[in-house]
Amino acid sequence: MVLPQGAGVHGGPVIDGPAERSPALRAALANITRICPAFTPRQLIQEDERHILVAGTAGRTPVVAKCLAQPGGQARQATRTALQNADLFRREVAAYRAFVRTRPPARLPKLVAADTERCVLLMERVPGRPAARERHPVNTPAPGEVRAILGAVRSLNLWRPPVGTFDAPVNSVREVARYHALGLLTDRDASDLQQLLHGLATTPLQFCHGDALLTNVMLAPSGPVLVDWEHAGWYLPGYDLALLWTVLSGDTAARRQISQVAQASGTLPRDAFLVNLLLVLMREIRTHDHPGAGEEQRILVRRLHEDAAMARRAVRAAVGTR
């Protein structure tokens, strides 16, 4: 959940009369009112092909309503993407409901109400600003803010929620095979990663946010607040750290700190971090490297390839020490 540039209490478009609202927004507002009759919309934060975010109040409580623009279960001819988006939305609702029962050691918005059928999630509105407004930001947060974000993520990673509450969204073995088949990983890459994964076969999984990007961190006066929990679950250790390392390309000191944290607990956590890192980089390259990209996009892809080359060398060195 990312606020656009300038979207504060008075920074975004104000919701006026029904005639000025899109059909999707009108439907979203009706669904929000179904689960929270006291909701009063104040500001449209975001409306795109995937999500609609509306700030308002529930009684005297500042809240944000997050709605799926086209719930997969309601569309007459739901596309595969719409169904996947609906599934992710329901995963996020399930995560927030689980956090009501067992609070994690990380700050997150409190759940106010939710409807999985209509894909509506109502949360408290957290004061603050996003740590970044882009997935791969040019300007990274201040060093103290980065340390606070890393501390929040590490505290979350040490948490052990009740058994059966969350699943494992990513299968690393299958990811290696998939990127190898796509030509993003060489035969040597795949072999090296398989060797590391074989050594990690008995390593316990780690609870991760699963999408620990700077855009999913709100910098509140009381510290970092993590939002967008649709990918939360059990991962190979170091997954969140690998994501943070990938998007902090402009902050050498932060990357060094993340690498030190990943290696501090020994060889196995280091190997897990390296596997995650190379797979995350492959995903980012596949996402951003496409025909017709502008110069800024090409610079990003070139940087991702450079990072991938660095990760490959680290993976090979790790294999050599086994």
Tell me the mean pLDDT in the region 64-90.
79
Quote the crossing angle between the two packed helices 187-199 and 172-181, to the nearest 10°: 170
- 200-235 burial: b if 16+ Cβ within 10 Å, else e: beeeebbbbbbbbbbbbbbbeeeebbbbbbbbbbbb
- Evaluate if residue 25 carries a pLDDT over 70: yes
CA 201 – CA 161 distance, rounded (Å): 21
Of residues 313 and 290, which shows the higher confidence score? 313
Question: May I ask the CATH architecture of the domain 130-320?
Answer: Alpha-Beta Complex (3.90)
For the chain, how many helices (H) and strands (E)?
9, 10
**Which pLDDT belongs to residue 250?**
86
Question: Looking at residue 203, what DSSP letter applies?
Answer: S
Provide CATH 3.90.1200.10 ranges for the chain.
130-320
Rounded to whole angstroms, the Cα distance separating 237 from 207 reads 8
The rounded distance, in Å, linking the Cα atoms of 204 and 21 is 49
Residue 71: which pLDDT band, with cuts at 50, 70 and 90?
Answer: low
More confident residue, 73 or 14: 14
Write down the pLDDT at residue 165. 94
Topology annotation, domain 18-125: Phosphorylase Kinase; domain 1 (3.30.200)
Q: Note whether 235 and 170 are within 8 A (CB).
A: yes
Q: Which of 19-28, 40-49, 75-84 has the highest mean pLDDT?
A: 40-49
State yes or no: pLDDT of 76 exceeds 60.
Answer: no
pLDDT in tens, 163-207: 999 999 999 999 999 999 999 999 999 999 999 999 999 999 999
CA–CA gap between residue 20 and residue 315 (Å, rounded): 54
In the chain, which segments carry CATH 3.30.200.20? 18-125
3-state secondary structure of 129: strand
Cα-to-chain-centroid distance, residue 13: 25
Confidence category of residue 79, pLDDT binned at 50, 70, 90: confident
DSSP 64: E
pLDDT tens for each residue of 240-296? 999 999 999 989 999 999 999 999 889 999 999 999 999 999 999 999 998 887 899
- Calculate what percentage of the chain has a pLDDT beyond 70: 92
Average pLDDT over the chain, rounded to an integer: 91
